[in-house]
Amino acid sequence: MLSATVLVAVIALGASVKPVSDGLLSAENFIKFILYALPPMLAYALPFAAGFGATLVYYRLSQDNETVAAQAGGISHRSLLFPAACTGVLLAITLAILNEVLIPYFLYKMQRLITRDLATWVIQEINRGESVEMGGMMVHARSAERVAPGPGSAATDVILMTHVAAIERDGTGRPTTEVTSERAWVIVFPWEGNQASEGVSAADQGKSRIVMRLENFAGISEGRGAGGARESADVAWSVPNPFRDNIKFLSWSAMRELEETPERMNWVDIWRKDLAFCVAERMTSAALLEAINRERTFSLLDDQGAEVVVKADRMEAQPGAGGIWKLTHSGGKPVEIRVPRHGTVPSPNDPVLTLLAPAATLTIDIGKDRLYRTLNLRLDMTDVTVADSSSGQPTQRAVYRVGGLKTTDNVVVPLLQLTSPELLVVADEITRKLPATAEMSIAVRDLTDRIDRLGREVLAKTHERWVMAVSCCVLVLTGAVTSLRLTRKLPLTVYLFTFFPAVFCIVIMSGGQQLTTQIGEPGLLVMWSGVAILGVYTFFQYRVLARN
């Protein structure tokens, strides 16, 4: 217990260095963080503390000739080592219980402490003249200060920033959106509140909710003209919980649940959402194709929610292009599309434009960026005759495009609520109706690969914890046997004969864990071989001791 206390205190202190240096921990929370870190760090310290403690105890017994007296009285080496074996079994059971119950709980407390102190880090960086990254944007402000949340508010922290400038960048680092604001409020909501929220998927549980409220702001976005200004707007995003994105911070029961909901890991959920949009594109294509074949027409919705009616009797996929369809009419008839012409204020009585063209191209677009998918439809026509219901005078247009269209039933929302295994089943079913696009095949492969990798990580972490627990038992016996055998050596020398085999066991276990993550079950042989070798080493030490 004394050895474990010293080792755990040192490791817990080391674990607090990075949060403190990053400004995530204030002075008043520093001691709390260390106390919360004690049980998790015990998992790494207990095997070495067990070996060291057993070494000291049995070395003292040997130095005081108590073992000689016991043997002279007819007590065997096996009987002398029996208390060590019982202690080792008890420590192994204790460590197993810690991994299941206490360690995940205290890791939760550590994360909650860091999350609630997020405001301190933001305020420190802003007031030092540095920029901070929030919600995918680099934010710079003249000043920042903490203010009290309003009465009845669920927020844990509120930050007021003045004279704010923010830049959003694409994947290459090029600015795409620029925003300036007179004031901005950053509101932090506790992530535990997301667990019971209606409509929150399993993947979104365990995330902090951050809302940035901009006041008197102006912005400009690439491809959207000169920009615009508004009195206020809200930008919200979820902050992933790093402890739920890493297998080592989950209990055994939580890891078993990942088999049904692997998207609880964000690095799996990213590709689940990507596949959901690919499936939505195929489902939309199949539904529109079925409507054309059955009714010779289908309806879409424009950006104002008004109905757009398309009449054609043939819908053909364009070769080599998923989500692009050519609409035609048999017998040389033109394709007919009815589009509402909205005024400044949209109204149900807005006039309707009737578009007639030899053919139309329907594009079902989910975007190029796999991390930010959206489902949009557009119609492109050439040699178009436009008839306005209000004037009745047809006009000719060489090119006409109707963009920003949606389907009448949003298939994306229910797909995003599916778990990864359920979504893969739906993807398999839809490919029986309509061949998968190259994008969808890649999405299925990527999601399947990540689920398989997650399964291997769960297997590796589960066995790693069992190896650590069993190593406690073996190391107690190793320390005891080594001390009885090397009675005439110095205590530190005796411990080195226990320490180096223990380090070898941990190194082999770590290598076996990585191998299991890569190739699966064959890596378990390497992981368990470290404990097996340590056990064989202890057995031969015991045989030498018993023979003499």
Domain ranges of the chain: 2-116+451-547, 124-241, 285-417
Q: Tell me the CA end-to-end span of the chain in Å, nearest whole number.
A: 32
Q: Collapsing DSSP states into helix, strand and coil, what is residue 368?
A: coil
Other C-beta atoms closer than 10 Å to the C-beta of 259 total 12
| 248 closest CA partner among 520, 14, 468 | 468
C-beta atoms surrounding 64 within 10 Å: 10
Cα(142)–Cα(261) distance, rounded to whole angstroms? 43
| Alpha-carbon distance values, 283 to 64, 267, 324, 392, 411 (Å) | 81, 25, 14, 37, 8
pLDDT for 135: 67
Which DSSP string corresponds to 62-111? HHTTHHHHHHHTT--HHHHHHHHHHHHHHHHHHHHHIIIIIHHHHHHHHH
Residues whose CB is less than 8 angstroms from the CB of residue 39 and which lie 6 or more positions away in sequence, other chains included: 98, 102, 103, 106
pLDDT at 193: 39
Backbone angles phi and psi of 382, in degrees to 5:
-125, 155
**Residue for token digits 């054609």?**
312
Predicted local distance difference test score (pLDDT) of residue 77: 84
Residue 426: predicted pLDDT? 93
What's the confidence (pLDDT) of residue 202? Answer: 44
What stretches in the chain show pLDDT beneath 50? Answer: 192-206, 224-226, 243
Q: What was the pLDDT predicted at 386?
A: 86
Total-model pTM? 0.71
Give the model's pLDDT for residue 9: 83
